[in-house]
Amino acid sequence: MRRYCFFIAAALLVIVFSQTTLAATLFSTIGQLDHYVTSSTFANHHYASDFRTGTDASTITALLLPLRNQDTIQHNIRAAIHLDSAGVPGAVVAEFDNTISLPAGESAFTSRLFTTTGIDLDAEANFWVIMRQLENGTSSSNNLDVDMTGNFANGVDPGSFFSTVSTTSVQNRIGFGAWGPFAGGNLRFALEGIVTPSVPEPSCLMMLGTACLGTAYFRCLVRR
């Protein structure tokens, strides 16, 4: 009987104090049908697309970004998430941990994986994904290619937790002017992460758990 009471108490503690998390693709434009390819020529050239988080807090763990390097030299790419500032990228929230190295002479787009130990994002807020190359290209025709969605009519992939905000992505040659609209659609990208659904206040959970444990323990004593 004591063992039975212990299992009841342990189960109640797990239910009360556990917080369900859901790992998923939080946002994606990779599945859109149309394509528009633009070349990134300069090291200070940044491309950005915005998104809006859902109703629950979330943690980003990875970014998928299709890229192709047709240049004659290797290119290295960094990515980050920025706050929104009146419709353009603002302060950086965090950079992804790894630098992606693209070998020269690629003929096809490949989704590159940027990872992080976790970038926490507030619920119902606007953010930007930003990518940048670290070296200048060697020509204006065969350089680093960025895969864009082409238009904004197709929406996002099914099952997304986030949504798009604006109807255009933006680009900027840092140091040469402000962020400006880019007509090629959004960046083609996907954000992987964890969503933490809203739960009752801890004080409410504590009272509920105490009441449940007391009831279970009392019933066990009576049955003995």
65 and 6, same domain (yes or no): no
50 and 79, same domain (yes or no): yes
- Domain of residue 121 covers 21-197
Helix, strand, coil percentages, rounded to 5, for the chain: 15, 45, 40
Domains identified in the chain, total number: 2
* Mean pLDDT calculated for residue range 39-48: 83
- What are residue 205's phi and psi, to 5 degrees? -65, -40
174 and 104, same domain (yes or no): yes
CA distances from 10 to 28, 51, 56, 200, 218 (A): 39, 41, 28, 20, 15
127 and 224, same domain (yes or no): no
- In the block, tokens 């099914």 appear at 158
212 and 107, same domain (yes or no): no
**In 3-state terms, what secondary structure has residue 16?**
helix
51 and 146, same domain (yes or no): yes
9 and 39, same domain (yes or no): no
pLDDT band at 140, cuts 50/70/90?
A: low
CATH number of the domain residue 186 falls in? 2.60.120
What pLDDT shows up at residue 52? 87
CA–CA distance, 36 with 14 (Å, rounded to integer): 50
CA–CA distance, 160 with 186 (Å, rounded to integer): 16
**Which of 36-40, 65-69, 203-207 has the lowest average pLDDT?**
203-207
6 and 102, same domain (yes or no): no
98 and 151, same domain (yes or no): yes
- What are residue 218's phi and psi, to 5 degrees? -60, -45
11 and 122, same domain (yes or no): no
119 and 218, same domain (yes or no): no
3 and 53, same domain (yes or no): no
* Mean pLDDT calculated for residue range 141-152: 74
Q: Over the stretch 155-168, which tens digit does the pLDDT of each residue have? A: 455 445 777 665 55
Q: Which comes out higher in pLDDT, residue 162 or 73?
A: 73
Cβ distance 59 to 121 under 8 Å?
Answer: yes
Instruction: Give pTM, 2 decimals.
Output: 0.76
What pLDDT shows up at residue 17? 47
